[in-house]
Amino acid sequence: MARLRLWSVVTALLAGFVSVSRGLSLTGPRTLLVVEEETKELFKTLMSDLEARGFQLDIRSAKSESLNLFQHEERAYDNIVILPSKLKGLGPNLQSSSFLKHASAGGNLLVLLPSDPDGSVPSAISELAGQVDVILPPKGFTVVSHFDKADPVDAEHTTLLLDLPTFPDHTKNYFASGDDSSAKIIYKGAGLAVGNSPLVQPILTAPRFAYSYDAKEASGYADDESVFSAGQQLTLVAGVQTRNNARITFVSGGDIFADASFTKIAKTNKMSANRAFAKDVTAWTFKETGVLNVDVVEHWGVEFGPNIINGNVYRIKSDVTFSIALSEYSYDHFTPYTVPENDALQLEFTMLDPYYRIPLTPATTKLGLQGTYKNSTVYTTTFRTPDQHGVFTFAVNYKRPFLSNVHEKRAVTVRHFAHNEWTRSWGISGSWPWIGGVWVVVAGWIAFVGVWLWSKPVVPVAGGKKKQ
Amino acid sequence: MARKSAANSSTPRPTTPDPSSLSDKPAAATPAATTTTTAVSPSPAATTHLSAKSSPIEVANAVWTRYQSDTPQRTKLIDVFMVFLVAVGVVQFAYCVLAGNYPFNAFLAGFAATVGQFVLTASLRIQTNPANKSEFSSVSPERAFADFVFGSLILHFFCVNFIN
């Protein structure tokens, strides 16, 4: 008996250790690396960095017979990395449909496309790209920048130095978290273009004077025929977040994450930013960053205070407080989420259409839930329900680039006034003249009745004026 | 009123029993001021001799004099009360027009109180007027007054309730 108990303690401890050493990605640690022998050596640092962050790498060749993304209809891997190879196809187990099935089941995918213009993109990958509205250039294209001397580092102008990505100030930047914000990214590749889908976001775009063109067929010149895309329109790294928050990232020019790029740049005499950028991109793709969590949603009527929380019924024209606690995942823990300065978290009070769309502000006063959710920011607002009864919905619809979707809905009934909740008429000063009018009539009537009874006519003199 | 009393004094008026009380009596005079005239039977001399050429002022004076002399005191009292109700009703309606009708139920209650009271009082006047005695042979003035009081109480109850 005692031995059994000891054994269970040991297993519990072991289980504890296992869970500690597990990858801290929100999707999971099981990571498939699809890589051929000849390129394996080129990405050693990337692999070791991933392993250091807790990912369990399963390094397989695309040609491996036993490779299967699903086992018993469950995802066999949480994350997939496809490294560039010379293969024209990825084999029967790695079809674009199985990648999409993987994403539909919540798995993430990082695709590194070859940097070399001669490298081939497997048909499964180009098919997948087309399905998520990412457009890949044909074979033989490469990005060049002839007109800005700061960009290229080689004679052909194909290896470029790029600034870390910047975003408008209403978008949080998850891709420049390196120590040195002025460090440059070494890039060489073909580029890609993104379509109009709101699910696709460019992470890294080309500098102004760069363009991607057919370096083989039209090496001497570039015209409409041979240029794929140019300038800011030319995307180098694109992230797709599906509607179920799975992430697919395309990196055109996989060498950006190769060991050869994690080096000192002779031109600037500084370390390249590639390693930090690789960390940021993999962290975002594998859901270590940019994941929002709704910790709690609370609403209550101001009349009764937070004693009655998340009730079903509110009255029209009554004050209601709505609070939502948001936290954001950052590698291994949740932190309070702060909305970027020029962005707004909004509450919609909706019955078919939003009647109100109100900004939610971080709670300054201590609310009931402030103490219990230390790792989240409580956003709150107080508003007056509209003069319309029906079934309304508190909705927070917060979908932003690089952030997982927040779409919280709480339906409540908004009732009309009960008959004893209306303002009494004497509470409305406008009615006083009429109230006075009624009572003046009553008083006049009483006076009339009194005088009438008092002024009974003298019967005998007139003779038959009254009363027979 | 001044015009009226001036006309009164200028017109030869032979028969009113108490001319002193007449000359200074306004239209909305208190019932007490006219008590002395009520018991007096209509005097035939009250009708001045109006010709077809008489001025409107003379006609009005004759009507007024005739009213003064021939109307029983209680009927005059009713008339005074009805004038009062009309005044209150007009004031309330004017307020509604000028200041808006919110809250509307209060306006309805206040205005309906004056209108309803006016109608009830008019009924009382018809039923208690000695001139209509033949029409209402089955309704005694006491009965008419009791009906009036009952109806008025119901009216007041409804108005006060309706005003909330």
Nearest residue on chain A to B120, alpha-carbon basis = A445
Q: How far is CA B112 from the centre of its chain?
A: 19
- H or E stretch covering A390: strand A390-398
Q: Is A304 on the interface with B (CB under 8 A)?
A: no
Whether the predicted pLDDT of A468 surpasses 80 = no
With contact defined as beta carbons under 8 Å apart, do A163 and A276 qualify? no
Q: Do A437 and B111 touch (CB under 8 A)?
A: yes
Q: Which residue has the higher pLDDT, A93 or A74?
A: A74
Q: Which residue has the higher pLDDT, A154 or A173?
A: A173
The verdict on A465 touching B (C-beta cutoff 8 Å) is: yes
Disruptive mutation site among B78, B80, B95, B128 for chain A (greatest number of A CBs within 10 Å): B95
Q: Which residues of B touch A445 (CB under 8 A)?
A: 81, 117, 152, 156
Which residues of chain A does CATH 2.60.40 include? 290-415
Which DSSP string do the residues of A208-252 spell out, in sequence order?
Answer: TT-EEEETTTTTT---TTTEEEEGGGSEEEEEEE-TTS-EEEEES
Mean pLDDT of chain A: 87
Q: What's the pLDDT score for residue A306?
A: 77
Q: Considering only CB atoms, which chain A residues are within 8 Å of B89?
A: 437
Q: What is the CATH number of domain A26-287?
A: 3.40.50
Task: Flag whether pLDDT at A87 surpasses 90.
Answer: no
The one-letter code for the residue type at A215 is A
Contacts of A349 (CB under 8 A, 6+ apart): A355, A356, A358, A383, A385, A386, A392, A393, A394, A395
Partner residue facing B114 (CB), from A441, A455, A463: A441
Q: Is the pLDDT reported for residue A170 higher than 80?
A: yes
Of B41, B111, B121, the CB nearest to A462: B41
Q: What is the pLDDT of residue A368?
A: 58
| pLDDT-wise least confident of A352-356, A364-368, A440-444 | A364-368
**In chain A, which residues have their Cβ closer than 8 Å to the Cβ of B121?**
448
Cβ atoms of residues A184 and A151 within 8 Å = no
Say what the pLDDT of residue A446 is: 96
Mutation target for B interface from A420, A434, A452: give the one with most B CBs within 10 A: A434
Structure-block tokens of residue A423: 């303002």
Q: Edge-to-edge strands of the sheet including A247-251?
A: A56-60, A30-34, A79-82, A108-112, A247-251, A235-241, A200-205
Which residues belong to CATH 3.40.50 in chain A? 26-287
Q: With respect to CATH, is domain A290-415 assigned 2.40.50?
A: no
For B115, nearest residue in chain A (alpha carbons)? A441
Reported as a single tens digit per residue, the pLDDT across A365-413 is 656 555 566 788 899 999 999 999 999 999 999 999 999 999 999 999 9
Residue spans of the domains in chain B: they are 2-71, 74-162
Find which of A4-18, A69-83, A300-314 is predicted with most confidence, using mean pLDDT: A69-83
Contact A457 B72 (CB under 8 A): yes
How far is it, in rounded angstroms, from Cα A86 to Cα A254? Answer: 13
What's the pLDDT at B164?
A: 73
pLDDT, position A458: 65
**Which letter, b or e, does each residue of B124-160 get, where b requires 16 or more Cβ atoms within 10 Å of its Cβ?**
bbebbbeeebeeeeeeebeebbeebeebbeebbeebe
Residue B88 has its nearest CB partner, among A437, A455, A461, at A437
Integer Cα distance of A375 and A371 in angstroms: 10
- Position A414 pLDDT exceeds 90: yes
- Asked if A451 reaches chain B (Cβ–Cβ under 8 Å), the answer is yes
Question: What is the pLDDT averaged over residues A3-28?
Answer: 55
Are the CB atoms for A138 and A214 separated by under 8 Å?
Answer: yes
pLDDT score, position A8: 52
B71 touches B78 (CB < 8 A): no
More confident residue, A245 or A149: A245
Chain B interface, Cβ < 8 Å to A: 31, 35, 38-39, 41, 72-74, 77, 81, 84-85, 88-89, 91-92, 95-96, 99-100, 102-103, 105-107, 109-111, 113-114, 117, 121, 130, 140-142, 145, 149, 152, 156, 159-160, 163-164
Q: Which DSSP state fits A316?
A: T
Q: What pLDDT is recorded for position B53?
A: 81
pLDDT of A63: 87
Point out the least confidently predicted range of A50-54, A259-263, A270-274, B41-45. Answer: B41-45
- For residue A105, name the pLDDT band (cuts at 50, 70, 90): very high
Q: Which two tokens stand for residue B72?
A: 């029983």
Express each pLDDT in A186-196 by its tens digit.
Answer: 999 999 999 99
> With a cut of 50, which residues of chain B have pLDDT below it?
1-46
Residue carrying structure tokens 């930013």: A273
Q: Can you tell me whether residue A362 is helix, strand or coil?
A: strand
